[in-house]
C-alpha cells in the first residue's frame, strides 16, 4: 500500500521550477509543469484502545535500575529492592559479546514473561573500571528498548555491593 506524498513547500516548488528551466525535454515531449500546491489536512492521531491508553503512562516511563516505578506497592518494592524476593531464573551474560548478550537477554525475558515468572536475575559482571564493563553499561539501555520495555516493571541491584547483578520485576501477563 502506498502512502500519500507530503505536500511540497514553497521552497521545493521554486527549486523544481528552477531545475525544469535547465532541462531540455526529449524530442516529442513537452516541458513538465511545476507541481501545484495541494492543501493538506493536519494528520490526526489514531485512537488508542482503552487498555493501552491506561497502560501508556506506566510503559512510557523509562526503567531506571534502583528507582521505584509507579505501580509497585511499598511492601513489594522493599522485598524486591533488598533481594528478599527470590529470582525464579537467572541469566549469566559473562563471556558474551554485546550482540550475543542482547539476543540472549531478549530471548530469556520473552521466555520468562511467557512462563508468567515475576522476578528474574541478569548477571552482567562488574567489569573493569569505575563505570563497569560493556554489558553492565548497556543493560539499562537494552531494558528501555521497545521490544523489551513492555515486559519490565522494575529493575534493582539485589545487593548494593554487587552492581554486576540486576534483578528484574516482570509485568504480569493479563
Three cell numbers written together for 72: 509497585
What phi-psi label fits residue 90: left (phi over 0), alpha (psi between -120 and 50 degrees) or beta?
A: beta
Q: Does the reported pTM lie above 0.85?
A: no
In this structure, the answer to whether residues 21 and 90 fall within a common structural domain is no
pLDDT tens readout for residues 46-97: 554 444 444 444 455 788 888 888 888 889 888 888 888 889 999 999 888 9
The answer to whether position 152 is within a domain reads yes
In this structure, the answer to whether residues 74 and 22 fall within a common structural domain is no
In this structure, the answer to whether residues 117 and 152 fall within a common structural domain is yes
Annotate 22-40 with b (16+ C-beta within 10 A) or e (fewer). eeeeeeeeeeeebeeeeee
In this structure, the answer to whether residues 31 and 113 fall within a common structural domain is no
The answer to whether position 70 is within a domain reads yes
Q: 70: which residues sit within 8 A by CB, 6+ positions away?
A: 57, 58, 61
Task: Give the whole-angstrom CA distance, residue 135 versus residue 139.
Answer: 6
Amino acid at each position: 500500500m502506498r502512502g500519500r506524498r507530503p505536500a511540497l513547500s514553497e521552497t521545493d516548488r521554486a527549486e523544481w521550477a528552477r531545475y525544469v528551466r535547465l532541462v531540455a525535454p526529449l524530442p516529442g515531449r513537452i516541458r513538465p509543469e511545476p507541481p501545484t500546491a495541494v492543501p493538506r489536512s493536519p494528520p490526526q492521531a489514531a485512537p488508542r484502545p482503552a487498555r493501552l491508553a491506561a497502560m501508556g503512562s506506566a510503559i512510557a516511563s523509562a526503567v531506571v535500575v534502583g528507582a521505584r516505578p509507579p505501580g509497585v506497592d511499598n511492601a513489594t518494592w522493599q522485598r524486591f529492592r533488598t533481594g528478599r524476593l527470590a529470582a525464579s531464573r537467572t541469566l549469566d551474560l559473562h563471556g558474551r559479546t554485546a550482540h550475543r548478550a542482547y539476543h540472549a537477554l531478549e530471548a530469556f525475558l520473552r521466555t520468562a514473561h511467557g512462563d508468567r515468572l515475576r522476578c528474574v536475575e541478569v548477571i552482567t559482571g562488574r567489569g573493569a573500571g569505575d563505570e563497569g564493563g560493556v554489558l553492565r553499561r548497556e543493560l539499562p539501555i537494552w531494558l528501555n528498548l521497545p521490544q523489551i520495555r513492555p515486559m519490565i516493571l522494575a529493575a534493582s541491584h539485589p545487593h548494593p555491593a554487587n552492581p554486576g547483578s540486576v534483578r528484574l520485576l516482570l509485568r504480569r501477563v493479563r
